[in-house]
Structures are given as structure tokens and as C-alpha cells.
Amino acid sequence: MQDTDTFVNFHKALITLSHSATFISRERNKKLEALTDLCAELLHVDRVSIWQFPEQRDRIEAEWLHTPEQVTGNAPILHKAGNPACFSALESERILSVPDAQADPRTRGFTPDYLGPKGIHSMLDAPIFDGARLSGVVCLESTAYRQWTLPEISFVVAIADTVSLMNTHEAWLDSKQALEYATRYDSMTGLLNIKSLRDRISYLIDKLESRGLGSLALVWVDVDRLKSINDGLGSQVGDSVIEEIGQRLKKINVPGKDLLARIGGDEYALIIRNQTHPDTLDKTAAKIRHEIGKPIRLNGHSITVGASLGICYLADDCDSTEDLLRGAEAAMYNAKNEGRGRTCFFDSRFHISARSRFELENELRTAIKEQKLEVFYQPITKAGGASMESVEALVRWQHPQRGLLSPIEFLDIARGGGLMYDLGECVLRRVCEHRQQARAQRINLPVVSVNLAPEQVLVAELPGLIRTVCAEYDIPVNTLHFEVTEDAIQGDVSAVTSILEELVADGAQLSIDDFGTGYSSLSRLKGLPFSRIKIDRSFIGNIPDDEEDCAIILSILALAKGLGLSVVAEGVETEAHEKWLCEQGCDYLQGYLYSRPLPFDQLLDHFFVRA
């Protein structure tokens, strides 16, 4: 009970601070000062600091430091070369709870020059994110030996989340509006997306035509071996590889570099202006392959990938935006067919054998328009029992040549083509159609959870669309439960809140999906009408053996309890997962232990008795 009271008091103080008009209107340094002051006061710690990684990630720099001697933005720099164990732990463990910092193998490298002279004995670090990228930490340092408690750990994580939210908000302010950012930038890497690429190429073509001077080439980059990395090490490692390569391409300096975009999946495109002589482009391509080929170190693994490049010229090879894109992609496919790890220049013959991404986009557009997407369902069960509480609707695409495609194989294409809102409507219609079919067979389906993309949540007409579709099929809105990812609620808080509150007023319930991987702060959660949190599967796989994952889950469970929310754990695959989650009071469980996603007919056969 004491821990619960402490937890509630800590978070109440943070909510009061972060909601205050004074705090919201302050500059960043003043916000950091207020957060570190609050942390120092409530946790009785002398030293509280905010650290950040520069782009090179070879060191960590203190952005703000609160100590008995000073409160300042001018503070130390700690280098990775002298303290590799700590940097590795920050990347892999994220939360570091260290009672004896001078002896702990993760932090003792700091002892001679930092911990010892300052008399620091215990440390607690919580991660700060910039998008999906670890960008820094909140660090508490105690001059007395200290065993950090769960309320203290949870509070420091909430402080770090608040700073992460500040990072996200500041990045959003650089764009004209949240919807523009969502439609023009890639959420994983922060690079521009294919829509921005198209727009830039079209602009440059018009400029070249009007002036009659200049030249343009497009370099299409495809990462080799990513599928084997996903299969062998997991999709999270694959995502980290994609993100790292995006950062390398962003920093690379080559002649004529104009715009870099992530097209989707493991593909990027680079516009080259004027510096388009074949010899120059050969050197550019060689430099790109060299940078991508450098080892990538992730979670103890040294990963090496290659790249296949395709290059297409404007005017010589084609004369329109779409032809330039198709030509560069076709050249890239030819490079792959010739053995990967090489560069090919466009040849008109390539179009015959290459399967164009843009053809796939057009096929997806047709499938959405003709309502040909499928919906599979995965049960969500009550913890401690076998009864089904609800089902989650998961989109699939039965492609006529490629077979059944999972979302990871086409959602990037839908997002790049501006199709996410229409795709969401297509899924909703299929869900309503299935519920109508079940009712005709006298089968009472449970509540169905439907995922909402950021591109849907930011559209004011969404609640009206849902009401209209449900009315067409005579399906009550209160039979639906919508899942929204954390990145969907980054932008205009008032607009998003209004849309979500309208859905709730219509009878729907709301969940935050993949909780723990995004930017939600306690203040934001408190102000939005969610009734449920879904813990991301990345925290489930290693429980109960991984202490840090267990601590994160316990913190989320305590947070949910304090806010009156229920909790679903995704990715439950073993009885050990189930046992530990039930013991900790998790409300609902979802995963392969109970069922894989099933087509609608198989769902009825497995879990219901037909009339």
C-alpha cells in the first residue's frame, strides 16, 4: 500500500507540473530545470541530469545538470571509448538500476575519473527517445548506497517519457502541421518518404524544362540480406538495421546530393543533380555501398549487409517522374539478379522482368477500391481462464500472383501511396460484413478490435465515416474497440482528443497499442479517453528471466492501475509468459499460445458453435 501511495503521489506531482500553463509555455532549458528539480526533491537525490547522444553516438553529453553545486546546461561529456560496457547496456537494457555503481561491471569504468571523485555510489538511468531512436537518458546519481524502488524507477521513466514527448513536440513544430509530417516523412527513420520524393522530382523536372539546363539522376538503394536478418535475429533487429542505414545515407557526402527518401521496407532513393556523369555516379554508388557495408553492432551482434543499386537518368532514359522511379527500381532489380552487391544503370530491357513497386501500389489501390482485402482474427483471452474476451482484426491481402501477404509486406506501400485512410475503411467494412454474417448464423461475436493508423486518427471525418459504415451493416458502434498506436497521438492534442472523444461518445472503446515503444506521457494519457493499454510484444518474449523487461511491465501495470485502465499483453507464446503475467495481475492475454490469426471461417469453426 505504501508503494502504491508513493507511486500515485510521484505521478500526481508530475502531472500537476506538466499540465501547468507555466511549464507548457517555458523554453526547453526551463522545462528541463523544472523536471530535474522535481525529481531531486521527490526522490531526495542531489544529482539529476539529462544526457543526450550526438549523431556520432561515440559519446554522451549532459544537456542539463542539477547538483548541489550548480544547476546548469554546461556539463560533462562521457566518451564511449573509455566506457563501452555502460554504452552497450544503455543500448540493450535501456533502464539501468545500479545500487553499487563503482563496482557494477556496467558502470565501474566511470569510477576513476567521474564516480570516485564525485562520491557517487548508486545510479539510475531511464531512456529518452527521439522518434524510435534512443537519444539520451535521464540519470540519477546518489552519494549514498541506494536500492531503487519500483515507484522511483517508474517515476524516472515517466520523467524520461516527458522529455521524449518534448523532443517529439519540438520536431513536430518544425513541420507546418502533424498531418503533413505523417504524410511526408517516414516514421521509422525520420527521412522523407516516397510522396516527398515524387513531389521533389516533379518540381526539379519542371525547373529543368523551364531553364533548359542541368541534369538529374535517381539512385535506388535496396539492402541485401535483410530478410535473413529478420528471420534469424527478429524483426526488431531488422528495423534497427534499416534505421542505422538510413542515418548513414543521411550523413553521406556525395557530389550533387539533393534529397534522400526511404521508399519503404529496406529501400531508399537519392536524387543527384547536375553531377551525373557516369564516372561520377559510379564513384557515388561505390561510396554508398562502402558505407552500407560497414559492420553494424546491435545487441552484441556484428551485422554486415550489402546493397544493390539502380541508377536512372532523366531525359536520356525517361522524361517523367513515374518513369524515372520505375527505371531506377528496374535497374536495382537487375543488379540483384546479377548477384547483389553491385550497381546497374538503367536499360529499357529491365522493364520486362522487373516487378515494379508502383505496379504493386496500383494493384493495392484496386484491391482496396474493390474491397478485396481480407481480415484475419486473433483472440484476446481473459487472464487465468480460457474464455475469449474479444478478437483483434488483422488485415491480409490475397495477391493473385504473390499469394497471401501480411501487413509488413504492403503497409509501407499503402502509406507511401496515401492509401491508409481508404485501407482502414476497407478493413472496417470487412469487419462489419463478417459480424453481419455471424449474426445470420446466430453466432454472437465478441467485441472486435480494429487498428487505426495515424493517417486516420488525424482526419476529423473519421467518426462520421465509422457511424456511416456501421449503419450500412446495422452494426452497433459499441461492438468495436479501436486500437491506436502511440505515434498517432503525437500531433495536435486538441484535434486528436476531439476525434477520439467522439468515437467514445458513439459507444466505441479505445486502446493504446504497442505501449512502451512510443512517446506517451502520463499527462497525455490522463487527458485522452483510453480504457486499455496493450503492452508491446517486445517486452514479453524474455519474461520472466529478463529483470529489466519485468520491471518495465510492472511499471506499466502499476501505471494502468493508477489510471483505471485494463491491460492486454501481446505476444504471449509460452506457459511461463502466461503464469508470470497472471501472477502480476495482467487483465488480458493475446498470442500464439492461444491462437494464431485465423481467417473468419476458421475462427467460427474453432471457437463457436454454428446454428
Q: Where are the domains of the chain?
A: 2-173, 184-354, 361-525+595-607
- Taking the CA atoms of residue 22, residue 24, residue 28 and residue 31 in that order, the dihedral angle to the nearest 10 degrees is 60
Contact 421, 455 (CB under 8 A): yes
Question: What phi and psi, each to the nearest 5 degrees, are found at residue 170?
Answer: -65, -40
Give the predicted TM-score (pTM) of the model.
Answer: 0.52
Give the DSSP per-residue string, 62-77: EEEEE-SS-EES---E
Residue with grid cell 538500476, as numbered in its chain: 97
Q: Which long-range contacts (CB under 8 A, 24 or more apart) does 84-88 make?
A: 84/109, 85/109, 86/110, 87/60, 88/300
Mean pLDDT, the chain, as a whole number? 84
Closest residue by Cα to residue 289 from 221, 189, 336: 221
CATH T-level assignment (fold) for domain 361-525+595-607: TIM Barrel (3.20.20)
CB atoms within 10 A of CB 518: 23
Amino acid at the residue 53: F
| pLDDT tens string 506-526 | 999 999 887 755 444 455 566
User: Are 270 and 287 within 8 A, CB to CB?
Assistant: no
CATH number of 184-354: 3.30.70.270
CA distance 340 to 332: 9
What residues does 97 pair with on adjacent strands? 124
Q: What is the DSSP string of 248-286?
A: HHHH---TTEEEEEEEETTEEEEEEES---HHHHHHHHH
- Are 599 and 374 within 8 A, CB to CB? yes
| Helix locations, 454-546, DSSP H | 454-457, 462-472, 493-505, 522-527
Tell me the pLDDT tens digit for each residue of 417-449.
788 899 999 999 999 999 999 999 888 899 999
CA angle, 75 then 77 then 83, to 5°: 140
Residue 524: predicted pLDDT: 58
Fold of 2-173: Beta-Lactamase (3.30.450)
pLDDT for the residue numbered 385: 66
Give the whole-angstrom CA distance, residue 117 versus residue 154. 29
Query: H or E stretch including 391?
Result: strand 388-399
pLDDT at residue 323, rounded to an integer: 83
- The residue whose grid cell reads 550489402 is 306
Closest CA to 154 of 33, 9, 50: 9
**pLDDT given at position 566:** 92
Give the pLDDT of residue 483: 92
Answer whether 133's CB lies under 8 Å from 112's CB. Answer: no
Contacts of residue 76, defined as CB under 8 A and 6 or more positions apart, other chains included, come to: 61, 62, 65, 114
Distance of alpha carbon 257 from alpha carbon 407, whole angstroms: 32
Contact 423, 373 (CB under 8 A): yes
Task: Extract the C-alpha cell encoding 337.
Answer: 539478379
| Contact (CB, 8 A) for 10 and 151 | yes
Residue 179's pLDDT is what? Answer: 57
Pairing mode, if any, of strands 216-224 and 598-599? unpaired
Burial of 111 (0-12, 13-18, 19+ CB in 10 A): middle
Residue type, 473: Y
Q: Locate 464 and state its grid cell.
A: 462520421
Question: For residue 313, which amino acid is it?
Answer: Y
Q: Give CA–CA dist 246/132, Å, rounded.
A: 13
How many C-beta atoms surround the C-beta of residue 44 within 10 A? 10
Alpha-carbon span 142 to 119, nearest angstrom: 8
Residues in the chain with pLDDT < 50? 73, 175-176, 352-354, 518-521
Q: How far is CA 525 from the centre of its chain?
A: 18
